[in-house]
Amino acid sequence: MKVTVVGAGNVGATCADVLATREIANEIVLVDIKEGFAEGKALDIWQKAPIIGYDSRTVGVTSDYARTADSDVVVITSGLPRKPGMTRDDLISTNAGIVKSVTEQVVKYSPNAIIIIVSNPLDVMTYQAHLTSGLDRTKVFGMAGILDTARYRAFLAEALNVSPKDIQAVLMGGHGDTMVPLPRYTTVGGIPVTELIDKATLDAIVQRTAQGGGELVKLMGTSAWYAPGAAAAQMVEAIVRDQRRVFPVCIKLEGEYGIDGVYLGAPVILGKNGIEKVIELQLNDEEKALLETSRGHVKEVMDALDNMSKATA
């Protein structure tokens, strides 16, 4: 199996490192526009192989997409990271151009690849990649839900003083402040989380999760990378190994949850064909209202991208 990661920055390099360390693919190609950058990161990861003990070979290239030919899965992390005071939506114009250009090259050399988008603003960059690629929605989707649920589970594990391994959760909606928490579907070792924690504490954790990316930007001056990179790698693993894992991912909804044509996070089964099935949960009125708010926010940014495209056409 061959996996390409486009963008050798912090997120892309972390994704490639996790893929290699876990031996998820025989070959991992790291691509970047900066001369020598991907080559250096890939070489560093490869030199770690004798220490950790893995066989996956990492190779870095500068803008040479021919080297990525026939990739089974491609992860796109390219684009500007968020900086303090910058919202994800501020990134739309520049990053849409980058994602469009990269997707064109990916499809040219790997027409059968499954494409995972990590670039921000995530929901709208998934929309851009889907438009550019012309592929089915089951083959082009975004990583956000796994990251958001990981943050949520980490905060819960800390509050409950339990292992994060025992916490299962689902979040829906857009990536960021309008994400939709689903405490009813959150369990700790099979026990509903609402039986283990008071509402005020749970609400505070949900709020912290929604603002999780912003918290890290304030602390570090840039976006997170360890958790996003590992989340993308987990999606690749589910596909390459046909694990049929149930994950929340950003997908174009086509009637599910009464929403059509908008890219939102929803639980799916992820396997060798990409998205094998979209799972429809029975949401209550409050959850439906939150999802509609999130839908409206994402649709506004999608419309902004469409207007930018018309203006430059």
**Rounded CA gap, 25 and 5, in Å?**
12
Name the residue type at position 146: I
Cis, peptide link before residue 81, omega less than 30° from 0: no
3-state helix, strand, coil in the chain (%, to 5): 50, 20, 30
Q: Is 297 a catalytic residue?
A: no
Q: Which residues are annotated as a binding site?
A: 7-12, 32, 82, 88, 95, 118-120, 151
Annotated binding site for NAD(+): 7-12, 32, 95, 118-120
Q: 6-32 b/e with 16+ CB inside 10 Å = b?
A: bbbbbbbbbbbbbbbbeebbeebbbbb
**Which entry of 2, 130, 175, 297 is annotated as an active-site residue?**
175
Cβ neighbors of 171 (< 8 A, separation 6 or more) are 145, 148, 149, 152, 179, 180, 181, 182, 209, 248, 265
Provide the annotated active-site residues: 175
